[in-house]
Chain A
Amino acid sequence: MTPARPVPDALVYDRVSLRHDGAAADAVGPVSLALREGERVLLLGPSGAGKSTLLLAATGLFPRSIPGACTGGIVLRGHPVTSRTPAEWADTCGFLFQDAAQTLAGFTVRDEISFGPENRCIAAARIPDLVAEAMRQAGIPQIWADRRISTLSGGERQSVALAALLAQGAPITLADEPAASLAPKAARRMADLLLAPGRTTMVVEHRPGPILDHIDRCVALGRDGRVLAEGAPHEVMARDGAALAEAGIALPLATRIHLDLPDLIDPRLPLRDALLRVPPAQARRLHDAVLPAPIPAGEILTTLDGADCAPAFGPVVLRDVSLTLRAGEVVAILGPNGAGKSTLAACLAGLLPPRAGRRTGAPGAVAFQNPEAHFSQESVRAEIAGLCHAPGRVAQIFDRWTLGEVAHQHPFTLSQGQKRRLSLALLAEADRWPVLILDEPTAGLDRAAETVLGRRIRALAREGRALAVITHDMDFALSVADRAVLVHRGAVQFDGPCPALMRDAARLSLAGLEPPEAAPVLNWLAATC
């Protein structure tokens, strides 16, 4: 009897180093790792560690379509990646990109989802059924089939990209921060589908907490682009948590609290169980670990009074909005994808006048979702120099936002996280704006940068500024905001203390949101105090 041939790994990187054209150092590597058939691997790493480049190299897109150099060997299902073109590998390996808005191919939702099957030469008669099934799986209403892609919000486009990936039917999936712009409920649906048991998936994600239970193995890259830690997720978090935190990688809340309060929380236990062992006398320490220190609110800086908010060329998306922003206050603006949060931001800042009602108060600045909108100079150094601060303060800004290493680079060549840091630094460090509105500021940021950002937000509030933070990251909102505003169905549905909203699972669920990871801590605090 002939022995069964071993099944080759789905994807193998063997001492792979990747370097972009013109770069002085490798973007990543040397890295050796394997993705086994039916395995779900989470690739972690700080911003700029080369995670996206590593994914693109899996089918040869790097260096074939993105100029650069690759050393070492990459093998897909037993074949060298160079044996086929990236397009030919589409039957084996499907991609879900970070920014679906810019990568969709079709004119309508139906066009988009059928794109992959058409390229795979699936019989035309089978394609409509494939499209309908993929839409059903991704939770997209069938009546959207004829909707134009350009009418969809960013989150809706990401859901369509997921449906297109499912219809493509490739057995291996590589996903680069697929849920970064999704509201929590949509993000969970995406995780459930992408990381269903038995699927072969490698996913890059900055926030591992919500998906950790769907993962078989974690691989963490360090700042030098080499493997820092590898293993079963809970093992890695318990064993290497401190090293990962040191490298700027986000950790699940239980691990983070354990690192901060090692005598209170046992990282080996689920958070709820670990909380049962915390003595009530320690409530203050736990409170301080998850909630921001209070800042006394000052005078009202900006008011919207019965305002109807509309984008510049579009219809009214929010009606009768009445809000105030006070000095020293941080407000989280929450809501599902397409609820009108960005439009509200522009109205609050005074950039778009309300169609009805009125806005009064100081002008504000918005840090847009696309950080590139804020760049106008040829280097990071020139951008920061444009703020006209004294040399000492400039050095402090580079240090504070970890931009010193890329000071000579053109802003457009930075990684997404670095771009985000620079755009926020340009607004936050300008002393001109009493009101600052940050639109999805944590997208593309690693944990280290997110922590720095959170601290800066609170520091700016303490200096007397009013800040509004639009985010889908409920834990980040909870960690920086005193107050939360929930926007849904064309109106403000809630305006009150942030922890109160975060504990209201029913209200959050109605708006397509989910409670933060820290919700058990909030409930424990409410029951104990």
Chain B
Amino acid sequence: MLRGFHPLPKLALCLAWIVASLIVFRLSFQVGLFVAATLLLLLDARVPPRRVLLLMVPFALFGFGFLTTSVLFRAESGFALQMAREQGAAPDVAPGLVLFFRVLACGMVSAVFALTTDPGQFVRALMQHLRLPAPLGFALMQSMHLVPDLRAEMLQLRMARAIRLGRPLRRVPAPGEAFALAIPLLAYAIRRATRAALSFEARGLQPGRARTHLPQPPIRRRDWVLLGVGGGVLALVLAVLPPGFA
């Protein structure tokens, strides 16, 4: 369902929930948001559970320090205590746990947006509605091509290196190999960006020059309804939360 919505209202809604997550210092709110976002990923975006778990890893690692300090050592880091104090946390709450689930909740809300939005359509919506300069927009699209192409380039470089050194191709590059690949990959990215810029210019793209836009799906009534419902739920949640948050 979420895939069918216009990227901009969806972005606004996700940002609103992320901002709420950043200002509400309550464990129940963070856990609830985390669970809701995860369910949306599983049930609406149909992301396989294994992938959702993998998505959580970097966010969990980021918040893991707070969690271990809070749960295992029954102590709180200075940063967590300061955050709790500044945001008016309830006295019974473990600040480390709140921060841990905050990171997860924000991460999962971001994942909901990223995995239910067509990146090209999003960039086009930014250019069309929010006046993102076209050279910047197409540079963003180029960088999205670059990621898979860099992976393919890296594999080819690794194979060429294995041939040169007469060694079998390792499944995962050793640290020395990764270091040796960094400069050729950077050179590849620079050369490619140069060629792309040349092609853009040859095909008429120039900063500040007027251009039209391929018609995109408009922001429809259902998008406004999504924004209204999502914003209303957030307002309701904030209203019914007991005092103790900023």
**Which residues from A are CB-within-8-Å of B177?**
none
Contact A87 B159 (CB under 8 A): no
**Which residues from A are CB-within-8-Å of B244?**
none
Stretch in B55-63, B88-96, B140-148 touching the partner: B140-148
Dominant secondary structure of chain B at its interface with chain A: helix
A-contacting residues, B149-173, CB 8 Å: 149, 151, 153, 155-157, 159-164, 166, 168-169
Q: Tell me the count of chain B residues lying within 8 A, CB to CB, of chain A.
A: 49
Q: How far is the CA of A352 from the CA of B162 in the complex (A)?
A: 12
A65 close to B (CB within 8 Å) = yes
A87-B204, A111-B124, A111-B214 known; A373-B199 Cβ under 8 A: no
Contact of B119 among A101, A107, A131, A372 (CB under 8 A): A107
Contact A103 B156 (CB under 8 A): no
Contact B214 A95 (CB under 8 A): no
Q: How far is the CA of A59 from the CA of B202 in the complex (A)?
A: 8
Name the CB-closest residue of B to A58. B202
Contact of A121 among B169, B184, B198, B211 (CB under 8 A): B211
Contact of B201 among A65, A107, A148, A374 (CB under 8 A): A65
**Which residues from B are CB-within-8-Å of A374?**
160, 163-164
B-contacting residues, A101-122, CB 8 Å: 101-108, 110-111, 114-122
Contact B214 A66 (CB under 8 A): no
Q: How far is the CA of A426 from the CA of B161 in the complex (A)?
A: 12
A-contacting residues, B186-238, CB 8 Å: 187-188, 191-192, 195-206, 209-215
Q: How far is the CA of A418 from the CA of B120 in the complex (A)?
A: 37
A105-B200, A412-B187 known; A119-B209 Cβ under 8 A: yes
Contact A102 B156 (CB under 8 A): no
Contact B163 A66 (CB under 8 A): no
Contact A107 B212 (CB under 8 A): no
- Residues on B lying within 8 angstroms of A by beta carbon are 119-120, 123-124, 138, 141-142, 144-145, 148-149, 151, 153, 155-157, 159-164, 166, 168-169, 184, 187-188, 191-192, 195-206, 209-215
- 7 contacting pairs across A/B (C-beta < 8 A): A61-B198, A61-B202, A95-B199, A106-B138, A107-B120, A123-B212, A349-B163
**Apart from A91-B204, A97-B202, 18 more pairs, CB < 8 Å:** A59-B202, A65-B201, A86-B202, A97-B199, A103-B199, A111-B124, A111-B214, A118-B213, A119-B204, A121-B210, A121-B212, A123-B212, A124-B213, A349-B163, A351-B162, A365-B163, A376-B164, A427-B163
